[in-house]
Amino acid sequence: MRHLLAKSLGVTCLSAALAFSAGIPGATTGKVQLKSAGALAFGNDGVLFIGDSLGGSVVAVDTRDTKASAKASSIDIKGINEKAAALLGTTPDQILINDVKVNPISKNVYLSVSRGKGPDAIPVILRVDAAGKLSEFSLDSVPFTSASLADAPASEAGGRGGDPRNDAITEIAFVNGNVLIAGLSNQEFASDLRSIPFPFKGEIAGAGIKMYHGSHGRYETQSPIRTFVSYTIGNHQYILAAYTCTPLVKIPVSELKPGAKVEGTTIAELGAGNRPLDLIAYKKDNHDFLLLANSNRGVMKLDAANLEQYQPILAHTEATGVPYTTLAELKGVKHLTSLDDAHALMLFDNGDLRAMPLP
């Protein structure tokens, strides 16, 4: 009988040629066979992590896009969905922009896109330069490695039916040499955060991490992390994670180990009836802030000074903890990501992609 719980994290190198890659030691060069392109994150040296939910893997690609640029703050593209559709030879209603991230070195913008919406949709990575020109970032011949998140291979004895479980990857981040992956299954309930050391190597079994809210009677939270950002508080590395309806939870990165039961601390409640979309951290005038885009509660600017001082929220409460203001001028933000020291990049629900001054 196959062990349905057992998950294997395997490293696959799909092509033969060993290539020198500054960002990915031991990478091979070849064609990356993505089944889907979803959550994106940048590591060091221009390495782009691509979450492939349908393929059940995270792929690390050396973009070799490492020419430093201080600024890309002038990006202002109207209807990037229409422009991407035209580039890809389809109609705007057949384009899904799944994620937007900025290469922190070159400031080029990377978009994960589905061309088409059906099961035969083609995953594409697009790049936008500082001049606003779109191009395809071809995955036909690039140095890459990948880590498989899929179930142990299905050996369906007994003719048992059912399709394999699929894990949707909701967010990826590169923190302290590890790739953190938040995900959710389309079958048995499993919402977890995994931490995979990078460069990917060897077989890593059972790296799933269970997450618990510290508050409210210490119940295990099954609620999946919607978005998170890495953040240093004092001398300790944390991730700040936002959940539906909208607790903000700090989780110590040092405790994220395979099989660990990690207790998070709720430091803010940002209101019910809301889905957090994207979270970034930034510094302005020597002061720390967080910026959180939401489905129903606009874009919130949180004062991130002295996050260690907030006591765990233990009582049931409406909205409390870290103070914030809602920025009335920012409406319809679907994706939010860091661009440079003074700007965030925002994708709006009308398809506009725009560099906005950090508030």
Site for another protein in 225-284 (CB under 8 A): 243-245, 247, 261, 269, 272-273, 275
Query: Is residue 53 within the footprint of another protein (CB under 8 A)?
Result: yes
Instruction: Compute the least distance from the CB of residue 341 to another protein, in Å.
Output: 29
- Residue of 31, 67, 71, 117 interacting with another protein (CB under 8 A): 117
Among residues 74 and 222, whose Cβ is nearest to another protein?
A: 222
Query: Is residue 159 within the footprint of another protein (CB under 8 A)?
Result: yes
Among residues 110 and 243, whose Cβ is nearest to another protein?
A: 243
C-alpha dihedral over 290, 245, 253, 261, to 10 degrees? 170
Query: Is residue 142 within the footprint of another protein (CB under 8 A)?
Result: no
Instruction: Compute the least distance from the CB of residue 287 to another protein, in Å.
Output: 28
Q: How far is CA 19 from the centre of its chain?
A: 27
Instruction: Compute the least distance from the CB of residue 104 to another protein, in Å.
Output: 24
**118 residue type, one letter:** G
Among residues 27 and 346, whose Cβ is nearest to another protein?
A: 346
Among residues 16 and 157, whose Cβ is nearest to another protein?
A: 157
Structure tokens at 20: 């020198």
- Residue of 122, 130, 150, 260 interacting with another protein (CB under 8 A): 122
Among residues 171 and 340, whose Cβ is nearest to another protein?
A: 171
Neighbouring C-beta atoms of residue 59, cutoff 10 Å: 24
Among residues 166 and 176, whose Cβ is nearest to another protein?
A: 166
Query: Is residue 191 within the footprint of another protein (CB under 8 A)?
Result: yes
- Residue of 13, 22, 86, 260 interacting with another protein (CB under 8 A): 86
Query: Is residue 222 within the footprint of another protein (CB under 8 A)?
Result: yes
- Binders of another protein among 57-76, rule CB under 8 A? none
Secondary structure of the chain in HEC code, one letter for each residue: CCCCCCEEEEEECCCCEECCCCCCCCCEEECCCCCCCCCEEECCCCEEEEEECCCCEEEEEECCCCCCCCCCCCCEECCHHHHHHHHCCCCHHHEEEEEEEECCCCCCEEEEEEECCCCCCEEEEEEECCCCCEEECCCCCEEEEEEECCECCCCCHHHCCCCCCCEEEEEEEEECCEEEEEEEECCCCCEEEEEEECCCCCCEECCEEEEEECCCCCCECCCCEEEEEEEEECCEEEEEEEECCCEEEEEEHHHCCCCCEEEEEEEEEECCCCCEEEEEEEEECCEEEEEEEECCCCEEEEECCCHHHCCCCCCCCCEEECCEEEECCCCCEEEEEEEECCEEEEEECCCCEEEEECC
Which range of residues in 9-17, 62-70, 220-228, 282-290 is near another protein by CB under 8 A?
A: 220-228
- Residue of 20, 206, 220, 342 interacting with another protein (CB under 8 A): 220
- Residue of 21, 57, 98, 108 interacting with another protein (CB under 8 A): 98
- Binders of another protein among 161-190, rule CB under 8 A? 161-164, 166, 168-170, 184-189
Query: Is residue 349 within the footprint of another protein (CB under 8 A)?
Result: no
Query: Is residue 12 within the footprint of another protein (CB under 8 A)?
Result: no
Query: Is residue 202 within the footprint of another protein (CB under 8 A)?
Result: no
